[in-house]
Structure 1
Amino acid sequence: MDTGFIGKKSSAAGGWGALKSCGKQLLNSGSPLSGARAMLKANQPDGFDCPGCAWGDPEHGSSFEFCENGVKAVSWEATEKRATPAFFAAHTVSELRRQSDYELELNGRLTHPMRYDAASDRYLPVTWQDAFAEIGDILKGFDSPDRAEFYTSGRASNEAAFLYQLFVRAYGTNNFPDCSNMCHEASGVALRQSIGVGKGTVLLEDFEKADAIFVIGQNPGTNHPRMLGDLRRAAVRGAQIVVFNPVKERGLERFSDPQDKLQMLRGGATDIASDYLQPQLGGDMAAVRGMSKAVLAAEAAAVAAGRPSVLDHAFIAEHCEGFDAYLAAVEATSWDEIISQSGLTREAIERAADVYMQAERVICTWAMGITQHLHSVATIREISNFMFLRGNVGKPGAGLCPVRGHSNVQGDRTVGINEKPPAAFLDALEKEFGFAVPRANGHNVIAAIGAMLDGSAQAFIGLGGNFARATPDSALVEQALRKLKLTVHVATKPNHSHLMPGDVSFILPCLGRTEIDLNSAGNSQLVSVEDSMSMVHGSAGINRPASPHLLSEVAIVAGMAASTVGSDMINWAALADDYDLIRKHIEATIPGFEDFNARLRKPRGFHLRNTAAHREWVTPTGKASFSDIALPSETVNQAALKRHDHFALQTFRSHDQYNTTVYGLDDRYRGVYGERQVIFMHPDDVKALSAKAGERVDVVCEYTDGIARVASDFRLVPYDIPRGSIAGYYPELNVLVPIGSAGEESDTPTSKSVMVSVRRREAA
């Protein structure tokens, strides 16, 4: 059996392995000097905001922050390779479709606007004017604006996103399927219910003060490596770090900081997790409920013995409602239920609860390991409950911290990319611009795909991203896109979404975050982004554009808007030529952006005030809200354990990947090299299938809607993961994620809890 793809895992995250990987990435880009020069300006006051992730930057900003993801993102964008009209002339769309995601983006940066020609099955060059005119004519020709879907990727700046939502609402719809719908929608929904604001409450400096940090359903080493520096510093000063993750992830075990010269010279590393718990997939809510049960038992024991209270009764009495109902819900939840659903021992859960009780200041962070389940909203409500017990919201060194993925996914939502817009925001738009905005809720991602499939949607406009590969049910989404009258993709490189053309299809190439964006006067334009800590930063590119034919995202949006809705009410060209004007409109319509232009130009930008961080609760009762939701009756993992060949599947990233962008074929933190079609499985589950490491299998979705979903020819990798749970990379496994399975209240695809069966190929 060939198992040559399995190699040695890194002994620690970061370290020399990260430096070697960065050097390799810079060399492979074909422009190592410009890439290295660009990295020195990443996250600096006079440079650009790193496009790699949404982790916060130090407010004091005194030093360059090394990040492997950032190097990969910057060198990927700064490549010397070009996908010119000659490239498209040499390849039909059908030929390009056979390339992998990795191979396709290796062709380099797009250089010209292109229009699909069905007769030759090729993309041909088109002028910007002709592209905008045809897009506008088609959009104006629909019998309703709701026929079009307007997608946004989290890479778009605040200025581009605000102008985009303005264009779309002037056109007449709230159809804003957004990347948030596929990742942290549950966080926004749950936190608005719990604390009145759908964002985290902590600043980066709070990590310097926390006594304990709970990291739940998150893998910083691969997804936001700069966070590991903050966790390492916390561990060094004695903070306890408790991890809940079904998969043993190297970055949460040990980290060697490339910025620590002494540690690098000695080849050392810092232990990160003081406790590492591996719940079954979907078992996090039960684990957190178990910790609360242990805290409440300790409170009862303290009261009985006359010792000081464990709970923060003053916080609960003054700031919370629903506490008694929550007590009853916890009391009604048995330890047997908690142990069965979490897959953890009572002793392990109680030990984690002890860490919580011994700490005065606690931060809880989470990511998509929590948000992509049926019961994600309920789980995040439970995390909030847990944090309320000892008043760990709204004080220094403590708080709730959902960690977003893409660099401006939070900012896009702040400036209006929302299919369910608040009435106050719509009122402000009408007052500022003088036109009646649409009031009916629009489509999120799931609804947009459904509308494209049933024919009620006839156009798709994508502001960045790779919609076809990021979404669930890959085969159905391809069908949906190819049924449309119009598809438009604003992009920097070719990707698979471009290869699913509708009747009329355009690829519109845009400037990257690292590139200089000049206005008509020859002045460099500044854009802004918002990170996971609600810090708004300025960003100005420093590299020469990949092509003189590129336009900024703002200019492309303005061009489509002018051709579609005209310029009588809004001077789109003026806004595209001076982003300060866009920011003045943001300031006039969105609270928190007062004096936007001046504050943006200060080093490190400014913070958008979070009411919950100040213990001001914008909820119906004016208080933080405990939730008394019961645990799920059964998780997918519990159901899977009842059958020997059924498993609960989660999709995740490899280490050489960011979202749908694949930088390489290695995953050194998990010991996999040169291979992406792999399934990570507990060794005993491999044996139970009568299989061996490296054997190839087919994975079959067991969702009960009658649609066959199969991921064929994947290698088995024995791994430290709970029995009944398996894992593998997206987008390759997105074909198994059914569009009909979405989170309760959030409508987020359940990519972390898919019921599947695994079949050896010899038996297939």
Structure 2
Amino acid sequence: MSTIKKRNVSIVGSTAFTGIKLEQPAEYAAGVPAVKVALQHAFKEMGVVKSMKGLAQMNQKGGFDCPSCAWPDPKKRSKIAEYCENGAKALADEATNKTIDHEFFKKYSVEEISQWSDYTIGQKGRLIEPLILRPDSVHYESVSWEDAFSIIAKQLHELKSPDEAIFYTSGRSSNEAAFLYGLFSRAFGTNNMPDCSNMCHESSGVALSETLGIGKGSVKLEDFYEAEVVMILGQNPGTNHPRMLSALEKCKNNDGVIISVNPLEEAGLVRFKNPQSVNGVLLSGTSISDFHLQVKINQDVSLLKLILKKLAKLNKKDATVFDHDFINKYTSGYEALLQDLDKYSNDELLSLCGVKEQYIDEVVAVLAKKNKIIICWAMGLTQHKNGVENIKECVNLLLLKGSLGKPGAGTCPVRGHSNVQGDRTVGIMHFVSKELNEAIKNTFGFTPPDKAGLDTVHAIEAMHEGKAKVFMSLGGNFLSAASDTEYTAEAIKQCDLTVHISTKLNRSHLITGKTAIILPTLGRSELDQKGNKPRYFTVENSMGKVHRSKGMLPPVSNNLKSEPEIIGGIAKAYFGNEHPVDWEVLSTNYEFMREKMGKVINGFQDVNQKSQKNGFYLPNNVRDLDFSKLPDGKAQFSICGLPNHAIDEDEFILMTIRSHDQFNTTIYGLDDRYRGIYNERRIVLMNENDMKKFNLHKLDVINLISSYDNKERKAFNFLVIPYHIPEGNLASYFPETNILVPYNHFADKSNTPISKSVIVRLEKVASIS
């Protein structure tokens, strides 16, 4: 038996500074500079010919879906470029010509690689062969596909209970891969299926399900063109969903009003220069936000309550401010909501939210006269203790205005990863659906488990306590994405086996169980074929539309397998021929698999036919104003409490944010161009008044410290940058600051980590003076 070697690996990598350069924040997003940066990045990673071929097919009919965000494609697509700067970076990252095999790991141990920054690790290239890290080694070595599947199957057989295994899913996976993965997990006997939505939009799903009866948004892309008002809360489209700016531009051109609500004023919501228009290239572009309400971190409920109170006051004078016909016919809880609003004073709410009353009154005057309203949001609302109530307060406003089930109106949670919503649709969930279980039983001939599984935070806890022994990840960078990095690392190290189905090397491959296996897979952009027949996948965009994605670039290696083939290989090795599911056929014949999906997943009937051309929308009860599954058959108003942040005089509320050169935990570069920060990630944005109060100067070095439950967590070496952010608030990049987020503090009901409202204090390390 192999001895177990203790590996001296770093959970955060290098904390050295890389040479910061500062400029004034940008006054607009996109434009010619974005095109230039996108092409430079693509050419560097893929070369000119491969770049132009790949970019020409991304987000096009018959092409492949962008591996970045889930923003939908318009019906009429640009033949020049139906992608954004970060989409081009995502493609370049996936389809890079650089590769990694066992020779790389002969040269570098996991201990040495772990000392590198996440950016450096990600730049090394594509993984092109199965690899294993044995218990007595610090070097990955080559392993055959058959042996890798056999080792995984053996370890799964040795578990005392199926619930000792964790099956995690990233939003990058296709509907087919996610469906098969969930099917294998249930056939194995567990609902331990945490996924990345647990860490981002789970609060949205819970809030929308409880109030409107579906955990998805209700709008379509075309609704943006008709909207009279679009409210954008806790979201930075210019960096995280740049193609959304085109939809907002069309809204503006149709006399729509854009209201942004965020602690930071972001360039993308100031002005947009569309690189495909004369106005965007040669002129000033389009001014986006008509109003920017600079709310304090996690005081959105305070702001929304004040808006609702002011609207309610106007409604007493003019009963057309609220849509009473809609309220009476479709909603429940209206009178209770008004009574609750009366409990709060305007002054109290004004002080909490930190927004000037003049600006609020101007917004209220607009909302009073409009009823085609869309409310969009992202992590700025969901990743708080009260994340679910943040969303419910948004729903309250839409219900009062009757802004649901009509063109130009509705809810719009803007999903981050390209198929995170689709993964949940096809069955990746830790909770039990009796309808889904029954459909699986009838279709595949086995009985799925009826015991709820573990979500992300509780899966980490189970691994830490030794209750889970095998961790498998379908895509993603679990360690860097999860909260409480040190605790999560300790949890992962407790496992006997960790398995990652991946395209690129990341930190999760370095912080492992006793044995670790990496299974390299095809990227979204690469040709996937059986024999000489190309295959395609399906994905679901942020607005519930399912469409095809067909890779066309030559695979970076002939030794790669598709995600379904990898999952099927593991399942076949585990079950052999003694199972009612033919895993080999299911994992290789995608059309056959989709026929089975149509018998199990609501809305997927005839998916092989319906996914052609423009795709199809899944059922959405809110669009039909059907609330029959909710209490009284009505949409629900909610009584939401105010956020509770009791902080001392020397403490701040920190929100984690992305730079413009990253997507989730993938770091494309070291520049945050729109915020004027170059060649550095270890920064913290701070109000100048707070800097004076604490005797700090620009580029002073500090440590960030959080203290929860008598445990101190520390993130080292950050440069202070004066920025236009509310007093008492800080902002810094993740995953560098995830180490500060306690694993056991999360949103009520959704269990989403509190990554956007972490209480911290500062420790000065060095001064420029």
Shorter chain as denominator, the TM-score bin is over 0.9
Contact in 1 for aligned 2:134/2:514 (Cα 8 Å):
no
Q: Give the AA of the match of 1:423.
A: K
Q: Give the AA of the match of 2:188.
A: Y
Q: Does 1:265 align with 2:282?
A: yes
Report the identity percentage.
Answer: 42
Q: Does 1:294 align with 2:304?
A: no
CA distance in 2, matches of 1:382, 1:487: 40
CA distance in 2, matches of 1:598, 1:589: 17
Other structure's SS at 1:536 match:
strand
Instruction: Tell me the equivalent position of 2:195.
Output: 178
Which residue, 142, 161, 166 being the options, matches 1:125? 142
Q: Deviations over 1:610-669 (max 9, x none)?
A: 11111001313211000123323x3x3xx34x50x3100000100000000000000010
CA distance in 2, matches of 1:290, 1:36: 50
CA distance in 2, matches of 1:287, 1:8: 29
Contact in 1 for aligned 2:651/2:760 (Cα 8 Å):
yes
Q: Deviations over 1:504-546 (max 9, x none)?
A: 2101000000001111x32111101001110111001011111
Q: Deviations over 1:702-727 (max 9, x none)?
A: 32x23221111100011111000100
Distance apart, 1:328 and its partner CA = 0.7
Instruction: Tell me the equivalent position of 1:529.
Output: 539
Distance apart, 1:758 and its partner CA = 1.1
Q: Give the AA of the match of 2:410.
A: G
Instruction: Tell me the equivalent position of 2:10.
Output: none
Matches within 5 A, 1:51-450: 51-61=67-77, 63=79, 64-266=81-283, 268-302=284-318, 309-450=320-461
Distance apart, 1:243 and its partner CA = 0.5
Which residue, 719, 729, 732 being the options, matches 1:725? 729
Distance apart, 1:10 and its partner CA = 2.5
CA distance in 2, matches of 1:500, 1:706: 26
Q: Give the AA of the match of 2:455.
A: N
CA distance in 1, matches of 2:667, 2:695: 32
Q: Does 1:497 align with 2:508?
A: yes
Q: Does 1:475 align with 2:452?
A: no
Contact in 2 for aligned 1:8/1:668 (Cα 8 Å):
no
Contact in 2 for aligned 1:2/1:694 (Cα 8 Å):
no
CA distance in 1, matches of 2:33, 2:633: 50
Q: Does 1:669 align with 2:674?
A: yes
Contact in 2 for aligned 1:287/1:342 (Cα 8 Å):
yes
Q: Give the AA of the match of 2:529.
A: L
Q: Which runs of 4+ in 1 moved over 3 A?
A: 1-4, 60-64
Q: Give the AA of the match of 2:692.
A: K
CA distance in 1, matches of 2:474, 2:280: 42
CA distance in 2, matches of 1:248, 1:371: 19
Instruction: Tell me the equivalent position of 1:306.
Output: none
User: RMSD value over aligned CA atoms?
Assistant: 1.5
Using the TM superposition, name which of 326-335 and 393-402 deviates more: 326-335
Distance apart, 1:261 and its partner CA = 3.3
Other structure's SS at 1:702 match:
strand
CA distance in 2, matches of 1:353, 1:571: 59
TM-score w.r.t. length of structure 1: 0.96
Q: Does 1:756 align with 2:760?
A: yes
Contact in 1 for aligned 2:20/2:679 (Cα 8 Å):
no
In structure 2, list runs of 5 or more residues that go unmatched: 1-16
Contact in 1 for aligned 2:303/2:349 (Cα 8 Å):
yes
Q: Does 1:13 align with 2:45?
A: no
Which residue, 45, 51, 66 being the options, matches 1:50? 66
Contact in 2 for aligned 1:176/1:443 (Cα 8 Å):
yes
Instruction: Tell me the equivalent position of 2:41.
Output: 25
Q: Deviations over 1:129-155 (max 9, x none)?
A: 000011001101111000011000000
CA distance in 2, matches of 1:33, 1:476: 45
Q: Deviations over 1:420-472 (max 9, x none)?
A: 13211111111111111101110000000000000001110000000000001
Which residue, 741, 747, 751 being the options, matches 2:745? 741
Other structure's SS at 2:398 match:
helix
Contact in 2 for aligned 1:31/1:75 (Cα 8 Å):
no
Instruction: Tell me the equivalent position of 2:711.
Output: 707
Instruction: Tell me the equivalent position of 2:686.
Output: 681
Contact in 2 for aligned 1:275/1:352 (Cα 8 Å):
yes
Q: Give the AA of the match of 2:750.
A: S
CA distance in 1, matches of 2:523, 2:19: 39
Q: Give the AA of the match of 2:520.
A: P
CA distance in 2, matches of 1:370, 1:120: 44
Instruction: Tell me the equivalent position of 2:559.
Output: 549
Contact in 2 for aligned 1:112/1:125 (Cα 8 Å):
yes
Aligned pair count reads 749
Q: Give the AA of the match of 1:511.
A: L
Distance apart, 1:3 and its partner CA = 8.8
Distance apart, 1:55 and its partner CA = 0.7
Using the TM superposition, name which of 254-263 and 285-294 deviates more: 254-263
Q: Deviations over 1:569-612 (max 9, x none)?
A: 111111122101111111101111121100112x2211112111
CA distance in 1, matches of 2:18, 2:192: 49
Q: Give the AA of the match of 1:130.
A: D
Other structure's SS at 2:302 match:
helix
Q: Deviations over 1:60-111 (max 9, x none)?
A: 4464423111100011111111111111111111011011111001110001
In structure 1, list runs of 5 or more residues that go unmatched: 304-308
Distance apart, 1:503 and its partner CA = 1.6
Distance apart, 1:26 and its partner CA = 1.3
TM-score w.r.t. length of structure 2: 0.96
CA distance in 1, matches of 2:31, 2:388: 36
Contact in 1 for aligned 2:502/2:519 (Cα 8 Å):
yes
Q: Deviations over 1:37-76 (max 9, x none)?
A: 1111111111001111011111344644231111000111
Other structure's SS at 2:498 match:
strand
Other structure's SS at 1:669 match:
helix
CA distance in 2, matches of 1:295, 1:243: 18
Contact in 1 for aligned 2:226/2:254 (Cα 8 Å):
no
Which residue, 506, 510, 514 being the options, matches 2:517? 506
Matches within 5 A, 1:562-711: 562-567=572-577, 568-601=579-612, 603-617=613-627, 618-632=629-643, 634=644, 636=645, 639-640=646-647, 642-643=648-649, 645-703=650-708, 705-711=709-715
Other structure's SS at 2:179 match:
helix
CA distance in 1, matches of 2:742, 2:117: 22
Distance 1:472 1:4, change over 3 A: closer
Contact in 2 for aligned 1:38/1:543 (Cα 8 Å):
yes
Distance apart, 1:9 and its partner CA = 2.8
CA distance in 2, matches of 1:656, 1:239: 30
Distance apart, 1:4 and its partner CA = 5.0
Distance apart, 1:171 and its partner CA = 0.1
CA distance in 1, matches of 2:282, 2:78: 23
Q: Does 1:486 align with 2:497?
A: yes
Other structure's SS at 1:761 match:
strand
Contact in 1 for aligned 2:19/2:679 (Cα 8 Å):
no
